[in-house]
Structure 1
Amino acid sequence: MPQDEAAFAKFYARHVDTVYRMCYIRMKNQMDAEDVTQDVFLRAMQQPQLWSDDDHARAWLLVTASNLCKNAMHHWSRTKREEVEDWEATLGTTASPDEVSAVMSAVMGLPDQYKTVVYLFYYEGYSGAEIAGMLGKKESTVRSMLHRGKKILLKALGGEPYAEAGR
């Protein structure tokens, strides 16, 4: 295997699960998520400078995935999306299948502006400042979006607002 192919294979292996999860949350079904994930990595193949810079690469991949998902959803907006069948297997969580399904359905039900921010913050562990940089928004806007998204999720899941200690 040539050196470039080996470098890209390692890059792909490090990031494919993260990109796929982002796409799956946005696209709501396996086939579309796989298609967009493939498109993201096809674009990444043209950017060899990304392959060795994990911090920049991860941000670039997630922003690219988000944008491609948005484009695909716009393109396919009249097509009915499949329901999520097995979140536990997809996300590798230890929560009960009913809990996972309820939370992920609620996240998928968020308006797109909140869905992306909530995903990046809670699932990928990015800070508000990092998300702001990725999305080209002010950090205060990202914090507001997280707050509103969380309120929507709590209401959808039947939780009490501000149920977390200290928030």
Structure 2
Amino acid sequence: MTVNEKKVKLSIEGDQEALLFLLKQEKEKLYRTAYSYVRNQADALDIFQQTVLLAIESIHQLREPKYFTTWLMKICINVSIGVLQKQKKVISLDNQKFQSISTEIATSDEKLDLLDAIYRLDEKYKTVLLLKYYEDFTFEQIAELLGEPIGTVKSNGKRALAKIKKTLKGVYLDERTKPI
């Protein structure tokens, strides 16, 4: 049993200091995940706080200490999706952000287009891509986290990539193949 698993076990038994230690270890990952969904600092902080509160309230329900990070990430994802659904939020750039972005080099524009394409995907596709490529989860971990078969997760990942390629094909592929 690892040190963290021992701390998780202590947390389940009611040790608040152990739980706070574990939450501090996961705070950056939780914030990044929340931010990747809402793309807004204030909302991401609210999601982070809600996630921590839910974790504190329900740590006693965690059965397997080795799944603490997965359990915590699932709470964060569910809270993020809930916030998006509740607000039915439309993400737009204000003038100041647009001006600062327009001064960036082409690769930054491509990154923004890619992120925009990801955020336009259905939740099931977006979640797989964000966890796989931004949080470095394996397909097995994602399947476990989402409670879905690994084949479904892999299929959703492939479909998501195909949709993004289709979306960006007209923007970048056509421009690069034009004769000068």
Q: TM-score, normalised by structure 2?
A: 0.68
**Which structure is larger by alpha-carbon Rg, 1 or 2?**
2
CA apart distance, 1:83: 3.8
Higher-helix-fraction structure: 2
CA apart distance, 1:106: 2.0
Please list, as runs of the form range in 1=range in 2, the aligned pairs for 1:36-47 lying within 5 A after superposition: 36-46=47-57, 47=59
- The match for 2:32 is 21
Can you give the 5+ residue segments of structure 2 that lack an aligned partner in the other structure? 1-14, 99-105, 174-180
CA apart distance, 1:112: 0.7
CA apart distance, 1:145: 0.2
Does 1:81 pair with 2:91? yes
Q: Which stretches of structure 1, 4 residues or more, deviate above 4 A after TM superposition?
A: none
Quick one: which amino acid aligns to residue 159 of structure 2?
A: R
**Change in 2 beyond 3 A, CA 1:96/1:61:** farther
- In the alignment of these two chains, the number of paired residues is 147
Quick one: which amino acid aligns to residue 43 of structure 2?
A: D
- Match 1:61 to one of 72, 90, 101: 72
Identity across the alignment (%): 28
Q: Structure 2: how far apart are the matches of 1:67 and 1:110?
A: 17
Deviations 1:118-143 (A, max 9, x none): 11112222222221222121111111
Quick one: which amino acid aligns to residue 81 of structure 1?
A: I
Give the SS at the match of 2:136.
Answer: coil
Quick one: which amino acid aligns to residue 20 of structure 1?
A: Y
- The match for 1:90 is none
Please list, as runs of the form range in 1=range in 2, the aligned pairs for 1:1-167 lying within 5 A after superposition: 4=15, 6-46=17-57, 47=59, 53=65, 55-77=66-88, 79-83=89-93, 85=97, 96-158=107-169
Q: TM-score, normalised by structure 1?
A: 0.73
CA RMSD of aligned residues (A): 2.9
**Change in 2 beyond 3 A, CA 1:33/1:83:** farther
